[in-house]
């Protein structure tokens, strides 16, 4: 899909239509102050249905192997991983201009890349997680991240089903992206936090959150399915959760645009045919 090269994240974002103009002042303020922003019903119903259909096809075909590329050991929770290679339908999760604009804002327009693209379904009776952040509170030199340090990780959550208060919606504690990890503050990160908010929304809603924000899944006490995709990004200097270059297939590589290849950090993975 094109034979040019891209030299910077700024160029990649421009080619994908992402810019600060995609965000309203209220959305920017939410990212800065609360640590997350909700884009209600961002995806068309037809796109959501295509993602659901492919999600279920993969769960059925992969069986016990599903999610093995990124083993999270969540008992009873349906997981999928390496979705970049498992259908062009998932490309929206690392190419949507509004979502990329929000991610770039959190990173301060620094160089970044996709870390992983996974699926998660907190089936009825499962899904509870302790409050956590996604950086483990360490910088590259092994020292603790301090308040005021730049942010290293940003996640986006794509709701394929309605997220409600009783079906395992993600909880967040607004403003905690500027604090150290919950383990430094909370005696029981699994317990309900007095300031936590459950992020709910209709299918097609996307949430972008600073992954230093305290967050966690909640228990699905309903009888309803609650499928989500997680498109996770990291500052470019650091390792990916899933090494995209090691996993990318030639078929996938050929359909990616130069901007997408840069965003996945897979440029040159295959020689030109």
Distance CA 129, CA 106 (A): 24
What does the pLDDT read at residue 3? 58
Distance CA 211, CA 234 (A): 10
| Range scoring the smallest mean pLDDT among 42-51, 85-94, 118-127, 255-264 | 118-127
% of the chain at pLDDT higher than 70: 96
What would you report as the CA-atom Rg of the chain, rounded to the nearest whole angstrom? 18
Q: In the predicted model, what is the mean pLDDT of residues 146-175?
A: 93
Token pair listed for 38: 């909700």
| Alpha-carbon separation of residue 171 from 36, 66, 207 (angstroms) | 11, 25, 12
In the chain, where the domains are located: 30-243
Q: In the predicted model, what is the mean pLDDT of residues 129-157?
A: 84
- Whether 1 has a pLDDT exceeding 60, the answer reads no
**Ramachandran region of residue 263, left (φ > 0), alpha (ψ -120 to 50) or beta?**
alpha
Provide the residue count of the chain.
273
Q: Model confidence at 140, in pLDDT bands (50, 70, 90)?
A: low
pLDDT in tens, 68-115: 999 767 778 899 999 999 999 999 999 999 999 999 999 998 999 999
- Whether 184 has a pLDDT exceeding 60, the answer reads yes
CA-closest candidate to residue 95, choices 237, 246, 231: 231
pLDDT in tens, 227-259: 999 999 999 999 999 999 999 999 999 999 999
| CATH number assigned to the domain covering 30-243 | 2.60.120.620
Q: In the predicted model, what is the mean pLDDT of residues 11-35?
A: 97
Strands 171-172 and 215-216 turn out to be antiparallel
pLDDT in tens, 187-235: 889 899 999 999 999 999 999 999 999 999 999 999 888 999 999 999 9
How high is the mean pLDDT of the chain? 93
Q: In the predicted model, what is the mean pLDDT of residues 39-58?
A: 98
% of the chain at pLDDT higher than 90: 79
Q: Which residues of 210-232 are buried (b: 16+ CB within 10 A; e: fewer)?
A: bbbbbbbbbebeeeebbbbbbbb
């Amino acid at each position: 899909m094109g034979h040019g090269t891209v030299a910077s994240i700024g160029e990649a974002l421009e080619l994908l239509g992402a810019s600060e103009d995609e965000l309203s002042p209220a959305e920017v303020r939410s990212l800065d102050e609360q640590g997350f922003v909700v884009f209600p019903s961002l995806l068309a119903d037809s796109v959501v249905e295509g993602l659901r259909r492919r999600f279920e096809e993969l769960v059925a075909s992969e069986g016990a192997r599903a999610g093995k590329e990124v083993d999270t050991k969540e008992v009873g929770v349906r997981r999928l991983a390496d979705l970049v290679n498992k259908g062009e339908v998932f490309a929206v999760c690392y190419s949507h201009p509004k979502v990329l604009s929000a991610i770039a804002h959190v990173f301060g327009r620094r160089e970044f890349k996709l870390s992983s693209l996974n699926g998660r379904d907190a089936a009825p009776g499962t899904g509870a997680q302790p409050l956590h952040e996604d950086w483990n509170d360490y910088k590259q030199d092994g020292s603790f991240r301090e308040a005021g340090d730049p942010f290293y990780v940003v996640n986006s959550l794509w709701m394929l089903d309605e997220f409600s208060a009783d079906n395992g919606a993600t909880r967040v504690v607004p403003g905690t992206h500027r604090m150290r990890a919950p383990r430094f503050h909370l005696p029981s990160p699994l317990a309900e936090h007095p300031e936590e908010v459950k992020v709910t929304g209709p299918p097609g809603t996307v949430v972008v959150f600073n992954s230093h924000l305290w967050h966690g899944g909640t228990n699905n006490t309903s009888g309803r399915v609650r499928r989500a995709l997680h498109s996770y990004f990291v500052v470019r200097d650091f390792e990916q959760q899933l090494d995209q270059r090691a996993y990318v297939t030639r078929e996938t590589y050929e359909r990616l645009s130069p901007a997408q290849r840069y965003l996945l950090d897979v440029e040159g993975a295959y020689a030109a045919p």
